[in-house]
Amino acid sequence: MNQINRYSLFLVTLLLSSIAVPSVSAESIYHEKDRSSKYELFPLLISDGTISSIDLEAYICGADSAGQLGDNCLNTNKSRLLFNYSNPLNTKGDEVVFKIRNTGAPAYVHLDINLCWLTNNQDEMMCYEKISNLYHDESAYIREFSIRSNQFFIMIDAKEGTGGDETIVKVSYSDITSSNDDRIEPEVISPGNTYNRKVCDSQCDDDSPDPVDIFVFEAFAGDEVELNIWARSCEWFNDEKVKLYWRSEYDIANYTTSRWFTLDESGCDSDFSMITIKGEVFHSGLIYFYFIAPGVEVDHSATSYSIKFSSHDITNRDPNADLDGDGHPDISEKECNTDYQDKSKSPSDYDSDGDCDYLDSDDDDDGFTDITDKCHYSPIGEVDTDFDGCTNSEDDDDDGDGVMDEDDAFPLDSSESMDSDLDGVGDNSDAFPFDPNETTDSDYDGVGDNSDAFPFDPNETTDSDYDGVGDHTDAFPYDYTQYLDSDNDGFGDNGYSSTGDDCPYIFGSSYLYLNGCLDADNDGYPDSYEIECYSNYTDASIIPLDSNYDGICNVLDSDENIEWASQISSEINEDEDFFTELLSGFLGVIVFLGIVVVAFCVLAGVIYAPVAVLRNLSNKRQQPVKYGEDHLMQDVVRPIRNQALRPDFEQPARNHIRPAANIAKYAEEEREITFIDISGNSNKFKPRRGETLHDMALRVGYGPKDGTSIKIKKVGDRKNHSKSIASKMDGGTFEVIPELPNYAGFNL
């Protein structure tokens, strides 16, 4: 042991990298003892039992140096036993005594006893041989102050003898003196404060026993600290009854060289006895200062002392110091509340935002602070539908509607949870929750949009005739050609239909020749027609005469076959009178020759001009010429040559084109007539009952519109129209050829 008085200079390299030359009294002595030869590291073994206050018994068998078991080992094959002891809570520094007894039964065996403790490396233990060759029926005691570790072991090795080599050992412990009665050890101290305390061994004769005081503070690599310690009690001589140790947490369990000071009580609370410890910290961690009163024979009185934590300078602290080598600086691990001495424990940063979770107010970076977040560690990037801090994979109710996902038809829609008709639309949004064919009612009329022909019109739902007008509005809901009846007479305003009204703004009941016009006697014929036909429109029993039943009264009927017959007869009579007169005159011969020429022309069929002249002179409509019942009646209006290009006749009623075609048959059978314009474009229309082809052409927009006469013939036949028209007409295509350049064709 080295003893250094106050006048000597020394450098102590322990927990601190350097320590200033302490000022000590002649009796305050620094001690140092190397015990490395007795300390030995062992791998942590499986414990054979936990030490308690009751004897723990176990067989052990002696073995030679090679580990070969000795004789008569009937109950065990172990030559080494390990028993563990853990410091109970708040017992650090307590004085514990372990008792080990070699019973010597059934044989005498030599035992070596080691006190071991867990090192910083959790799978190793450091052992110090305390007792050697404990023989039969002997007991040994090992005292420990429970400072170096929280986990201690008693390791027993048995040696082979000359006889039997098996014996029973008994192990127990007793807690002799508590160091935690006055306060819980260790006591944390802070810079600038002075702490006045006292210690007294387990046999203290002037105070309560308190053999150990432990003080602790935390420092990091690079820090500089200074502490001052001195005795306050007053003794005539220094009997070295109190020892001062200081160690870092880093090496307190692993050191093999003991270093300590003894307090000098002869200074009587003066600077004469002060010890100053100052230096730089090598390794981050806790720094322990502990005072032990082990007890001496001559003095069992208490020792009072003071410890002052003078300064803690962090100016030169190493920010990159990493004691456990886990890549996280010690100071960061401290701030993040992880063990910077344990490589397996590093700060977590769940959301990788650079802030460890301990300091991060939102560990999973989901926008919810950890205080309110039900799921602190939600999977990063996952969807959180209801924004409750728990992603859908964690949440039993993803949309937060109070209905668990397993019972929710729409687990991601907080506004829906049921779909009664299984149509994919939730009941809350479905206007028809029990009808799988309907989901919306845009016009709120009680009929779903899929069934509603007018989904945006609350007044309409159906369109029976598909004409685009709703049944409620449609005056003719089952007639696609009509929807409006302005005069409410039952005939639609659309004049181009067979049910069209020829007098759309005058209420009328006529249905023959013209629809919906005034009919005073309700005989079906319009009053205007009866007037034109020289009939009595006030007497239903008198109707317009229609000898050929073609739908046109005789007065207005111009059936060409009948007219030509009367014309030819008239022409013959006129020609005979004229011939007689010529014969009686002076120029009879010349006239006779003219008559012969005329007769020859008549016989040749070239009678168009004379007949037209006669027709014009007679100033009456052409008379019908009948083709027969199986053929369509067709008028041919011959132009008056001298007036063919005149657009303004004085008598439009007689000179206007008005071919009176009997198309009643087509109207009754609802057959269509095709109209062909000059460009070859065609359209089909249905004739009205009692309507002439001429009237129909004007109604549908075909034919001349300036009063010009027309010719009608089969399309493709350029022969004389009057003869071609006389051919069979059923199903044929005909042209209307006016004297003007325009023309239209008809397909009957």
Q: Which domains does the chain have, with CATH numbers?
A: 30-34+180-313 (2.60.120.380), 39-177 (2.60.120.1090), 560-747 (no CATH)
Decide: 674 and 686 in contact? Cβ < 8 Å: no
Could you give the angle at which helices 588-604 and 560-584 cross, rounded to 10 degrees?
Answer: 160
pLDDT at 689: 65
Token look-up 């500089």 returns 224
Q: Residue 667: its pLDDT value, please?
A: 58
Element at 217 (helix H, strand E): strand 212-219
Distance between CA 24 and CA 29 in Å, rounded?
8
- Rounded CA gap, 596 and 598, in Å? 5
Task: For residues 685 and 491, give the distance between their C-alpha atoms in angstroms, rounded to a whole number.
Answer: 18
Backbone angles phi, psi at 666, to 5 degrees: -65, -40
CA atoms within 13 A on the CB side of 217: 21
pLDDT lower than 50: segments of the chain:
1-27, 560-573, 575-576, 578-580, 582-583, 586, 602, 604-662, 705-748
- HEC assignment per residue over 503-540: CCCCCCCCCCCCCCCCCCCCCCCCHHHHHHCCCCCCCC
What's the pLDDT score for residue 601?
Answer: 54
Please report the pLDDT score of residue 594 as a whole number: 64
Provide the sign of the torsion angle of the four alpha carbons 468, 470, 471, 476, taken in this order: negative
Contacts of residue 184, Cβ cutoff 8 Å, sequence gap at least 6:
90
- The DSSP code for 700 is T
pLDDT of residue 51: 96
Burial class (CB in 10 A: 0-12, 13-18, 19+), 462: middle
The full 3-state SS of 265-288, as one line of letters, equals HHHCCCHHHCEEEEEEECCCEEEE
Q: What pLDDT is stored for residue 161 in this prediction?
A: 75
What do you get for the CA distance between the two ends of the chain, in Å? 144
Yes or no: say if 136 and 109 are a contact pair by the CB < 8 Å rule.
Answer: yes
C-alpha gyration radius of the chain? 67
Determine the 3-state secondary structure of 363 from DSSP: coil
Rounded Cα–Cα distance for residues 114 and 126 (Å): 10
Is the Cβ–Cβ distance between 733 and 675 less than 8 Å? no
